[in-house]
Amino acid sequence: MTTVCPHCGWPDDQPFLVMSKHVTVHGLTVWVRCACGSVQMREIGAAGTRTVSRGRPALGRTGQSCPD
Ligand SMILES: [Zn+2]
């Protein structure tokens, strides 16, 4: 049951870049940036890893507009 990034298809279980980790009352909150620039906030607790929120890909990364 591997989930992937809806923007670029990167597997969520292989974080492209872990930006920061914070200990909270819920467990561990991890900020991850995807290969496409989308930032995710994950919560790692007793129940496992949960993706709390996921941002949009970074704009202007290649200096080109979307071909679509
Ligand atoms: Zn992505």
Distance, in Å, from the CA atom of 40 to the CA atom of 21, rounded to the nearest integer, reads 12
Asked whether residue 67 is assigned to any structural domain, the reply reads no
Whether 63 maps to a domain, the answer reads no
Strands of 2-57, DSSP E: 17-24, 27-33, 39-45, 48-54
Q: What is the pLDDT of residues 22-42, one digit of tens each?
A: 998 878 999 999 999 999 999
Instruction: Determine the residue type at 35.
Output: A
Residue 34 belongs to some domain of the structure: yes
Q: For residue 51, what are the domain limits?
A: 1-57
Q: How confident is the model at residue 47 (pLDDT cuts 50, 70, 90)?
A: confident
64 Cα–ligand 1 center, Å: 17
**Which residues have CB under 8 Å from 55's CB, separation 6+?**
38, 39, 40
Alpha-carbon span 46 to 24, nearest angstrom = 13
**Ligand 1 midpoint to CA 17 (Å):** 11
- The residue written with tokens 């900020």 in the block is 31
Q: 11 CA to middle of ligand 1, Å?
A: 8
Centre of ligand 1 from the C-alpha of residue 6, in Å: 7
pTM of the model: 0.75
Q: Is residue 68 part of a domain?
A: no
Q: How many domains does the chain have?
A: 1
Ligand 1: centre distance to CA 51 (Å): 13
- What is the residue whose two structure tokens read 């995710």? 40
